[in-house]
A and B are shown apart, each in its own frame.
Chain A
Amino acid sequence: AQSVTQPDIHITVSEGASLELRCNYSYGATPYLFWYVQSPGQGLQLLLKYFSGDTLVQGIKGFEAEFKRSQSSFNLRKPSVHWSDAAEYFCAVGARGSQGNLIFGKGTKLSVKP
């Protein structure tokens, strides 16, 4: 069965500092991988997605993520965090050939210090 682990429940970084949010997945083959962001009281917004090909994926708002098959990881990065990036971030995995259902991690809340 698929599963997604986001080891960090809450991370605080200073504005302008770099960011890396961790995501590990469990799946027998290469899955579809996604990162979403959620601001308080709002729906989830898709940041980026990986299906195949280049393992470094660029997304919106200056985010990128790298798929590492050997580590079963899909970590999200941003070189310089802005105060507006404070939100909750969810990693998700989907099985190829399935109904399209996604499994979500429990999320990482990002706080940004001025």
Chain B
Amino acid sequence: SQTIHQWPATLVQPVGSPLSLECTVEGTSNPNLYWYRQAAGRGLQLLFYSVGIGQISSEVPQNLSASRPQDRQFILSSKKLLLSDSGFYLCAWRGGSHEQYFGPGTRLTVT
């Protein structure tokens, strides 16, 4: 069966520091992968999606970037964090019928 992992689970970082969040999927190959950010009361905001290795689409201009160095690995990065980057970050992969399956999430607090 398929599983999706995210780490770290929580992170507290100072403003201006770099960021790297990792997402890995097991049990499937060449999945579509997604990064979302969730802020209180604002639902889910799609940040990036990837249909394959090295293929990244950005949905919103921002301080973040994404990379997909391996088939089942998706990384969210930033060179310098802003206070506004705080939030709950979710990774997801797409199943065979367009449904998406989510990881447990990373809570990022920028101080």
Contact = CB atoms under 8 A, between A and B. Distances in A.
Interface of A: 9, 32, 34, 36, 41-46, 49, 51, 90, 92, 94, 99-102, 104-107
Contact of B43 (A41, A42, A94, A106): A106
Nearest to A48: B99
B49 A101 contact: yes
Nearest to A45: B102
B40 to A, nearest CB: 10
Nearest to B104: A43
Given A100-B32, A100-B94, A46 B99 contact: yes
29 contacts: A9-B41, A32-B97, A34-B99, A36-B102, A41-B88, A41-B107, A42-B105, A43-B90, A43-B102, A43-B103, A43-B104, A43-B105, A44-B44, A44-B102, A46-B101, A49-B99, A90-B43, A99-B32, A99-B51, A99-B57, A100-B32, A100-B100, A101-B46, A101-B49, A102-B46, A102-B98, A102-B100, A104-B43, A106-B41
Contacts of A104: 43-44
A107 B36 CA distance: 15
B101 to A, nearest CB: 7
Given A34-B100, A43-B90, A43-B105, 11 more contacts: A32-B98, A41-B107, A43-B104, A46-B101, A49-B99, A99-B57, A100-B32, A100-B98, A102-B98, A106-B41, A107-B43
A12 to B, nearest CB: 17
A100 B95 CA distance: 9
Interface string B36-63: 0000011110100101000001000000
Nearest to B32: A100
- Those 4 A-B pairs whose CB atoms lie nearest each other, nearest first: A43-B102, A106-B43, A44-B102, A104-B44
A94 B98 contact: yes
B44 A90 contact: yes
A104 to B, nearest CB: 4
A90 to B, nearest CB: 7
B24 to A, nearest CB: 14
